[in-house]
Structure 1
């Protein structure tokens, strides 16, 4: 299994970096809305320096592929691609929704998680995941972007935990699904969990060259307000 992986994520308000070297993980994490571009590279330098590892000594570079903020996802993949190009590293995209499920497991040992991120425009990014015996995650309800009232999980039996900002933004959704939310719960993905998931992705052969790495927006189109006189 790959032993040296760097992960970066700026897909949400949270900005985070993690470096896995063997069984050790070094992390930097900060809530920094609109400051990702100034925060992320110093975080990368910090974890590499603390580990005494050069970028070109890594085995792979993981990134939060989304879903999340359109701008945040683009910033994350752009920075990750720049680092990967410079060091000739393969890249692995990691779902922010699955990363939050992994964080729930890391913090509470919960093995069934429904993740939902506030997608604005009265919508959520949502998916449902269950931990497998090997430590990877099975997709129960595929990732989607939709209005909260239209979300119908494929599995409702058993004990399910929630993760993500979507539950705070739309508390009626949790009430309808008979799920309880906590202000102390997992709200945003962290790179610490992405390095764990990246190892499984590498094992599945999902690594790609830097120029082939791509984000996941879920929305087919993004509508921008056009300035007067422009097409």
Structure 2
């Protein structure tokens, strides 16, 4: 694909919603409350920003979206909206790892070049991945995201920490050269888009898949009952004859 200059980007992986539209040199962006509100506010925001930029969906070179890891509901929202818009307008998709967007935001805002990106995964865990913009170029490498307890996170000497997990688990995280509380923004995704396009990361609308690092966050009624029974058995002394 030739260099894209007309792009829509959005991320709903955290409690913050981020949307941006690029039309050549023009850049329009919006950020606000996400979470449960994202499913109702995302489409109207997209329509408004496109109208303000003088673009229709069919004019776009690609739709850029945060594929995860992150909130299950947020990722489903982003992927379903990306898929619907791309299919309806026959526009290709450009998925972006949210941890890469966090690292890019830290690089852009604070000059961090070696970044351990961390996002709050809830349930006393975090998502983490390492990005080295000096050694691996504009995409920082292809580190696989991990799901960890805060105390299990390792930060190489001289590296920075960045992400919203700092606010949740800051005192429990390993020391770092610097700490930057940043989010995966749509504008960060737009900055990453040229390198992602050059790397051939475009996908068709049918492949708007979320990146789930935690496969399961809920238990069935039977599973909860079994867990309770096992816990009770562990603390109940055996009866004697």
Provide closer, same or farther for how the CA distance between residues 204 and 152 of structure 1 changes in structure 2, counting only shifts above 3 A.
same
**Greater Rg, structure 1 or structure 2?**
2
**Structure-1 separation of matches of 2:112 and 2:205:** 34
Q: Please give the per-residue CA displacement for 1:73-120, whole angstroms capped at 9, x wherever unaligned.
A: 111111111111110011111011111111112222222222111101
State which drifts further: 35-44 or 98-107: 98-107
**Structure-1 separation of matches of 2:33 and 2:115:** 23
CA drift of 1:141 comes to: 5.0
Q: Unpaired segments of 5 or more residues in structure 1?
A: none
**Higher RCO (C-alpha 8 Å, min separation 6):** 1
**Structure-2 separation of matches of 1:134 and 1:90:** 26
Q: Which structure is higher in helix share? A: 2
**Structure-2 separation of matches of 1:26 and 1:83:** 19
Match of 1:51 in 2: 53
When normalised by structure 2's length, the TM-score is 0.84
Between the two proteins, the alignment pairs up a number of residues equal to 222
8 Å CA contact 2:114–2:160 kept in 1: the answer is yes
CA drift of 1:202 comes to: 1.3
SS of alignment partner, residue 142 of structure 1? coil
Match of 2:186 in 1: 191
CA drift of 1:187 comes to: 3.4
SS of alignment partner, residue 35 of structure 1? helix
Match of 1:38 in 2: 40
CA RMSD, aligned part only? 2.3
- Is 1:222–2:216 an aligned residue pair? yes
Query: Superposition pairs for residues 25-174 of structure 1, below 5 Å?
Result: 25-132=27-134, 136-139=138-141, 142-153=144-155, 156-158=156-158, 160-174=159-173
**Structure-2 separation of matches of 1:206 and 1:97:** 16
8 Å CA contact 1:100–1:186 kept in 2: the answer is no
When normalised by structure 1's length, the TM-score is 0.87
